[in-house]
Structure 1
């Protein structure tokens, strides 16, 4: 299963299992004769071995996080690696779907403009492993986070989790939440309709899911989580015109987390029996975004 909860300022919740292996995605394999149309575009055919990821021990994290663009400007591209035959097929389906963002499963998330919030200027910055691993791993080893994300341990544990997304087809993008040019939170923005979550609720095309953790104690307990959830869901709705709703699935027992979603414009839609918990399906509808 993918990450299944958020860790907001108002309360923790379970989140992703480490690894993100094959069970993390639905089986969307297309017929071989269809896939042959795209061989050569990505340089890999059925017999071409997949690229071997760099061992985590070889990653040299940057000593301090610095933006890779001039201060005040948003990143313009989302890092992506390891695209193979399956990735090309998914991207081809996105192109065939037409409309804004064709060819990108999350509509060029790396190019989204920053958002003004009551706390400052906020932007989503797609993770670059070599730059961000040390920081994210440190957050994952915070006991308040580790209890729910289950990614505590050496940097290689977090690296494996991040690579599963970075080397994928783009249906899930790990991001830093950057407030006034300082990274302070971690997000995973993902296509809920292409996720195992879709097996547990009536999914619609382009449903988009959010997972969140607040990275430092200084940013917790001040209503920050609710502000960020509203800002990020607004960014999704503003930049993904075919997305009609943003989803999350906090644990039903995590009352503070559910409350944070309700405060940020989400509504309680249903209870879901997921493999590892009873979850509250929280939904922010495009049609109701100016009402809730």
Structure 2
């Protein structure tokens, strides 16, 4: 995905790869305990549904276990979540990568562009053991300008992540969450053959988290608002 706030072109879906390709086998289903298959957490209500086809109905993916607890990606509801996310964006550490510090309206515009789009990017809260503690953008990298900067394949899926609280940073939590979300995407997106992360090259902590989660650094790219490290993880 391009730097936060950049527009996305209305490119057509390049089509599905051959379903007989052995690289497209689904990962094994997770054997979730009963407490993960019952009632959704309080943050699971989706107040502004988006088109779901381009990311294989992400809102219905459900929870997954991580080394830190049970995580669920919950699509953002601006009425409910804007104050929380805007507060995170005003943390100087977060602003160094996201450049969305300022009044809530700035964060609102960034998220609203995604919510009002065709579903190629879904902004989510990361709810860990019932508490919202991170912000994610799961997006179709093959339908994003970043596809021009690496050897893109159909259905490549990208990940943006920020950890909201300073207390949750610097202790390996990002790696654990990225690893779990990568597996979640591959489990539910059978046509996705590869994942991509593209943090700012100056963000050593983010790059290390991606690498610890199984991503391999493949190069760098000049995106509209940053020089990015390109990190890939194959199925």
Given the two structures, how large is their TM-score scaled by the length of structure 2? 0.82
More strand by share: 2
Structure 2 residue aligned with 1:107? 56
**Deviation (angstroms), 1:76:** 7.7
Q: Which runs of 5+ in 1 are unaligned?
A: 4-15, 31-68, 82-90, 92-102, 287-292
Tell me if the contact between 2:97 and 2:203 (Cα under 8 Å) persists in the aligned partners.
Answer: no
Counterpart check, 1:2 vs 2:40? no
Conserved 8 A contact 1:229-1:264 = yes
2:110 equivalent to 1:147: no
Distance change >3 Å, CA 271–CA 78, structure 1 → 2: farther
5+ residue gaps, structure 2, are 14-37
**For residues 152 and 77 of structure 1, do their structure 2 counterparts lie closer, same or farther at Cα, with a shift above 3 Å needed?**
closer
Q: Deviations over 1:234-274 (max 9, x none)?
A: 11101100000110112333333222111111111222233
Q: Tell me, in whole angstroms, the C-alpha distance in 1 between the residues paired with 2:167 and 2:208.
A: 20
Change (3 A) 1:276 1:151: closer
Shift of 1:25: 1.3
1:263 aligns with 2:232: no
What does residue 27 of structure 2 align with? none
2: CA distance between counterparts of 1:71 and 1:198? 35
Decide whether aligned partners of structure 1 residues 80 and 201 sit closer, same or farther in structure 2, where only a CA change above 3 A counts. same
Q: Is the 8 A contact 1:250 1:257 kept in 2?
A: yes
Alignment of 1:26 onto 2:5: no
Give 3-state SS (helix, strand or coil) of 1:133's partner: helix
Aligned to 1:251: 200
Which residue of structure 2 lines up, in the alignment, with residue 44 of structure 1? none
Say whether 1:273 aligns with 2:222.
Answer: yes
Distance 2:57 2:214 in 1: 24
Q: TM-score, normalised by structure 1?
A: 0.67
Q: Deviations over 1:185-204 (max 9, x none)?
A: 00000000000101112211
| CA displacement at 1:75 relative to structure 2 | 3.8
Q: 1: distance between equivalents of 2:124 and 2:208?
A: 24
Q: How many residues align structurally?
A: 211
